[in-house]
Structure 1
Amino acid sequence: MKDKQPLMYRRSLRSRVALAFALCVAVLSVVWGFAFVAAVRLSEDRVLSQQLQLAANSYPTMPANLRGYDDIASLPQSLRAWAETNPAEGLYEFEADELHVAVLSADNEKLPAGNAQRPAFVVFDVAGIEAASSEDWWLLLVISGVVGTLGVLGFGLGVIVMRRAVAPVAQLARAVADIDLEHLSAEDYKRIDSSRFGDDEVGVLAAAIEKTLERISAFVERERYFTGSASHELRTPITVITGALELLEQSDLSATDVKALDRVRRATLDMKTTIEMFLCLARETDDGLYDEQFSVLPLVNKAIDQQRYLLNGKCIDVNIDQLANPSISGHPQAFAIAVNNLVRNAFEHTLDGQGPITIRINAHELLVTNQLSHDTDELHPPTGASPHGYGLGLAIVQRLCERNGWSFSMLADEKRVVARLSW
């Protein structure tokens, strides 16, 4: 397939651009050269035609429009006053009289010896030969039109040549743009088809993109297979254990066995939450659940109930300050996991006698505050931030928030620790 590539496409991109520029300049130079030569020849032919026409109109008397004068007195009347000023040697034009005058200085070696004391004049009468002013304007208009046309043609030629030179780049860009990067399929990388771009820089880039997309597509397929299988294989044992616990609860158990059963139940619940959390983070797509509308308060209450056992044996108050009842858009399971992590961290890291723990629900944010000191009157978020040392779950909360377009921050000082989740 590479053998069928045009010769230009076998060159490097840099060589193609340089060749295209050189070709465009060469073509424009040739065109402008022909236009200039044509204008010169046209001017010559026009002057000769005008002079011949003047002679034909005067036939049989030939016009004497080119004459030499050795004496100022013999010059045409309109030139005598000017000649008295002793003009320097050179060429002069008198548009009003339609005369062109060449002045030969007194010491010009071409003058006769007896004429060495005075200048000589050669007068060319162009009356009837030069174009009229109106004709000059028409000629200027024609030349301007030709120049403008050549400029437009040159610009068009440049655009065509440059498009031809960078066509493989544009073709690669279109192939990449047609791929939906948010929903990659296993066959998307084949749209690149790097073999059609040759061995130049564009071909190398196309091959790299194709291999990268192939690896990403393979990873997405492995992720879908893993999450599909793990979702069933990991949740099934948890379901079995939960069922067995429910059966054991119906039996006559001693107080020691009941405590052990409670620990198993809590460990099972933690295991279930961890599995759901990691599966939620592992999924690339989740069937549009990231746009679901849900209420915040029920999920907060559920998280408090699930984690309240962590406060057993601690004299700590939990206050829910509900200033609003917001409903937000996102993944409800992800939000529940995030809230569970924040509540769990608050309950675990608050020591006996500290507190209270305040959970404040605003219209656009959720604040979970661990009160470490009783020296403050109001619970305003501190300005310092130190999320370190409060559990691995906070990094997971951060990732869940990023996936859903929410914002998470941890603020801490010597009096309080505030976890803020805003939407």
Structure 2
Amino acid sequence: MYRQSLRKRVAIAFAICVATLSVVWGLAFFAAIRLSEDRVLVNQLQRAADNYPTLMANPRGYDDASGLPESLREWGQTNPSEGLYEFTAEELHVAVVSAGNEQNNAFVVLDVAGIEAASSEDWWWLLLITSVVGALGAIGFGLGIIVMRRAVAPVWQLAKMVEDIDLENLSAGDHKRIEASRFGDDEVGVLAETIEKTLERISAFVARERYFTSSASHELRTPITVITGALELLEQSDLSTTDVEVLDRIRRSTLDMKTTIEMFLCLAREIDDGLYEEQFLVMPLVRQAIDQQRYLLNGKFVDVEIDFIDVEIGDLSRSVACGHAQAFSIAVNNLVRNAFEHTLDGQGPVTIHVEERVLFITNQVRSDADEQHTPTEASSPNGYGLGLGIVQRLCERYGWSFSLRADEVSVAARLSW
């Protein structure tokens, strides 16, 4: 599929490494064999030269055990079976062969004294061979690393490029840093091209999102401001009771629309200009939400019980939260609105309880509170008001915690920060 795929490059690199090591090891073993042969012949010739002009036959043949050297005579009389024997102490090698009769065997004796290396010399040879083997192993290991690094270098380069990109603050030109064209027509090139195109789409989306939120923030708020101003002018006129009620409904709808716009802009905005660590008072936002949504209880005999407790700071009115004040206000407004809307006439009270870093809002949904029911943890908040789904998203966005506990009698919302 690819002319020079990564898989093929790795296979070729591995084959080159193995072939190189095989050749080196073969040459090393061949050199060791030739060196051993030369050493044996040189030692045997040196021994003959030391005994010149008397040249001793070596090896020598013996027809029976009585002719063997004295150190071997007793062993030979035991009639050993055919084979090769080594006598280390005597420095003799003996071959027992058939002599053509069933009673005795013949013996061929090789005297290796002066031919085999001494024990101390063997240790030096062992040290030399071990050093050579270790050096070859180190060379092979280094060669393998070099070859494999060259084979996977494109993957490492691509990973480094991706690592250097700040995914939290993507710019319009971040996709150009991948430079997919430099990786060629292989798997790494396809991967680099895919990442480059993906980042290009994400960068374009982020640019569109920022343009939309900046434009929508102005374009959507302007009509709301105009309507609010017009309502203020109308309030200064002489209006009938019916007109005042109509203006109140328009004002509430305008306020709901403004809250909805602010809520969706908060969720759509990629960054919030460093407002995540803003500190604000909780109680004023809760009271504001209650005042804004109290109209939902008009005509209902429902009480609102407010309870603020802060055991650490002692001042019940100065409970502080950290995060985004506007988003927190939107979340509280949705919770209060949901509680007021789903509480029917006479099914009160609605309880709003604030402790240290926790807000509880509980409302009754059934008048028969004495009946026993098994409470359940709501798996989805959408069944108790669309706004609760927005609250869940806001909490996930700003690091707060939201849960909803509901049964057939009551619904309890919990918001912690």
What TM-score do you get using the length of structure 2 for normalisation? 0.92
Where structure 1 has 5 or more consecutive residues not aligned to the other structure, the ranges are 1-8, 108-114
Q: Which residue of 2 aligns with 1:392?
A: 386
Equivalent position to 2:413, from 397, 404, 419: 419
- The answer to whether the aligner puts 1:160 opposite 2:154 as a matched pair is no
In 2, Cα distance between equivalents of 1:86 and 1:307: 119
Deviation at 1:244, TM superposition (A): 1.7
Q: Which residue of 2 aligns with 1:269?
A: 255
- The answer to whether the aligner puts 1:235 opposite 2:228 as a matched pair is no
Q: Which residue of 1 aligns with 2:70?
A: 77
- The answer to whether the aligner puts 1:24 opposite 2:17 as a matched pair is yes
Aligned AA (1:278): F
1:319-358 aligned at under 5 Å gives the runs 319-324=305-310, 326-358=319-351
1:228-307 aligned at under 5 Å gives the runs 228-307=214-293
Aligned AA (2:349): P
Q: Which residue of 2 aligns with 1:140?
A: 126
Deviating runs (4+, > 6 A) in structure 1? 374-377
In 2, Cα distance between equivalents of 1:149 and 1:376: 86
Aligned AA (1:266): R
Residues 294-337 of structure 1: per-residue CA shift (max 9 Å, x gap)? 23222222211111111111111212222326433322211111
- The answer to whether the aligner puts 1:170 opposite 2:164 as a matched pair is no
- Of residues 366-375 and 266-275 in structure 1, the stretch that sits farther from structure 2 once superposed is 366-375
- Of residues 221-230 and 351-360 in structure 1, the stretch that sits farther from structure 2 once superposed is 351-360
Q: What do you get for the CA RMSD once the two structures are aligned?
A: 1.9
Total equivalences in the alignment:
405
Deviation at 1:266, TM superposition (A): 0.6
Aligned AA (2:86): E
SS at match of 2:169: coil
Q: Label 1:327 to 1:96 Cα distance change in 2 as closer, same or farther (>3 A).
A: farther
Equivalent position to 1:214, from 193, 196, 200: 200
- The answer to whether the aligner puts 1:203 opposite 2:189 as a matched pair is yes
Q: Which residue of 1 aligns with 2:98?
A: 105
Q: Label 1:189 to 1:120 Cα distance change in 2 as closer, same or farther (>3 A).
A: same
- Contact residue 400 and residue 416 of structure 2 kept, 8 A: yes
Aligned AA (1:414): E
In 2, Cα distance between equivalents of 1:63 and 1:335: 110
- Of residues 382-391 and 138-147 in structure 1, the stretch that sits farther from structure 2 once superposed is 382-391
- Of residues 333-342 and 181-190 in structure 1, the stretch that sits farther from structure 2 once superposed is 333-342
Aligned AA (1:26): A
- Of residues 413-422 and 323-332 in structure 1, the stretch that sits farther from structure 2 once superposed is 323-332
Residues 362-395 of structure 1: per-residue CA shift (max 9 Å, x gap)? 3243221113356769xxx944325242222111
In 2, Cα distance between equivalents of 1:126 and 1:227: 97
Residues 195-243 of structure 1: per-residue CA shift (max 9 Å, x gap)? 1111111111111111111111011111111111110111111111112
- Contact residue 365 and residue 409 of structure 2 kept, 8 A: yes
SS at match of 1:130: coil
- Contact residue 355 and residue 373 of structure 1 kept, 8 A: no
In 2, Cα distance between equivalents of 1:327 and 1:98: 97
Q: Label 1:106 to 1:421 Cα distance change in 2 as closer, same or farther (>3 A).
A: farther
- Contact residue 377 and residue 405 of structure 2 kept, 8 A: yes
SS at match of 1:196: helix
What TM-score do you get using the length of structure 1 for normalisation? 0.91
- Contact residue 346 and residue 367 of structure 2 kept, 8 A: no
SS at match of 1:389: helix
Aligned AA (1:398): Q
Where structure 2 has 5 or more consecutive residues not aligned to the other structure, the ranges are 311-317
Aligned AA (2:33): V
